[in-house]
Amino acid sequence: MAEVAFHPEAQAEYEAALCWYQERSRRVAARFEAEVGHALSLLDDNPDMFPAYDEDHRFTILRRFPYTLVYHVQGDHVVIVAVAHSYRKPGYWQGRQ
């Protein structure tokens, strides 16, 4: 099992998205939170199961939400480097460690 952690900027992106959903619907916000939790548990169990974004990063697209979790694996650690909305410029998060 891998230890999953968020880069500070990715954590801020997640919190902003969750807040946005909470302002509109607590039920949808709970679904968003559950979907992210499900993705994180999959990463914890098998971080190599998702496709490569580039040489250093992998990604998983959230079901039912326009977000992608971009991450990199460092030994037993998985670092989420972006909670990227699908309308943001691709690769804007590059340079985050």
CA distance 39 to 23: 23
CATH number of this structure's domain 3-85: 3.30.2310.20
Query: Per-residue pLDDT tens for 42-95?
Result: 999 999 999 999 999 999 999 999 999 999 998 889 999 999 999 988 888 888
Q: Which two tokens stand for residue 64?
A: 């039912």
| Helix or strand (DSSP H, E) at 19 | helix 8-24
Cα 60 to Cα 51: distance, rounded to the nearest angstrom: 7
What is the value of pTM for the model shown? 0.92
Least confident of 10-14, 35-39, 87-91: 87-91
* Predicted local confidence at residue 63, as pLDDT: 92
